[in-house]
A = this chain, B = another copy of it.
Amino acid sequence: MARKREFDENEALKQAMQLFWVQGYEKTSMEELVNCMGVHRKSIYDTFGNKHELFIKALEYYKTTIGQQLLQQVENEKTALGKIKALFDYAWINNKEQAKGCLIVNTGVELSPHDEAIAQIVRLNFFETERVIYQLLQQGQIAGEFSSTIDLSTTTQFIHNSLIGIRVQLKTTDEKEKLQPIIDMTLSVLKNA
């Protein structure tokens, strides 16, 4: 007994996420969001709350779509090394057309120090990435691909830190060809003696 929603909530959220990803939180105005989502101002507020809540929902959408695509790319690879490489390579795919880095890293840098709710989401996403890396390192060690002497926790942190660096440089550098050697060198610490 009510009027039907004319827009697709997920599609609108996707557009919002893309804009936040390119521009960041503060730089993005509600007017821009209205235009890019194709949804009326009031409908955005009725559906998603306010700008801050919309941003959090965009972060969640990012995790369940982009994050899931990333895991898919990882699982497509056979070897542990291939899977870890896929983790790095996937960043490229999202930065082919436009330099926008990683939404989680961007958000952490922009908002973590003065927005505890969002800082927590960033930490959670980082922690999940580290969990994935840890398991891949473990698998690779068992399979004999990686050195058995490396410490799993430390190496996980090390790989993740390098991944964060790459995600930043995808936004800042115009010489993306310089990044692949960095990745190769990062992964070289996994090699068997």
B-binding residues in A (CB < 8 A): 22-24, 26-27, 98-101, 105-106, 108-110, 112-114, 119, 122-123, 126, 154-155, 157-158, 160-166, 168-169, 171-174, 178-179, 181-182, 185-186, 188-189
Query: In the complex, which residues of chain B have a beta carbon less than 8 angstroms from the beta carbon of A154?
Result: 181-182, 185
Q: Which 7 A-B pairs have the closest CB atoms?
A: A26-B26, A161-B165, A165-B165, A108-B172, A164-B165, A158-B185, A109-B109
Q: How far is the CB of A60 from chain B (nearest CB, A)?
A: 18
Query: In the complex, which residues of chain B have a beta carbon less than 8 angstroms from the beta carbon of A126?
Result: 172-173
C-alpha gap A192/B178 in the complex (Å): 25
Q: Which of B24, B123, B160, B164 contacts A110 (CB 8 A)?
A: B24
Q: Which of B109, B186, B188 contacts A105 (CB 8 A)?
A: B109
- Known: A27-B26, A168-B105, A181-B154. Is A98-B123 also a contact (CB below 8 A)? no
C-alpha gap A24/B174 in the complex (Å): 22
Q: Is B161 in contact with A169, judged by CB distance below 8 angstroms?
A: yes
Query: In the complex, which residues of chain B have a beta carbon less than 8 angstroms from the beta carbon of A185?
Result: 154-155, 157-158, 189
Q: Which of A122, A162, A165 has the most CB of B within 10 A?
A: A165
Q: Is B172 in contact with A157, judged by CB distance below 8 angstroms?
A: no
C-alpha gap A165/B24 in the complex (Å): 19
Q: Which of B112, B161, B172, B188 contacts A112 (CB 8 A)?
A: B172
Q: List 12 A-B contacts (CB under 8 A).
A: A22-B114, A23-B114, A24-B26, A27-B110, A98-B113, A99-B113, A108-B172, A154-B185, A157-B185, A158-B185, A165-B168, A188-B189
Q: Which of B106, B162, B188 contacts A165 (CB 8 A)?
A: B162
C-alpha gap A181/B171 in the complex (Å): 26
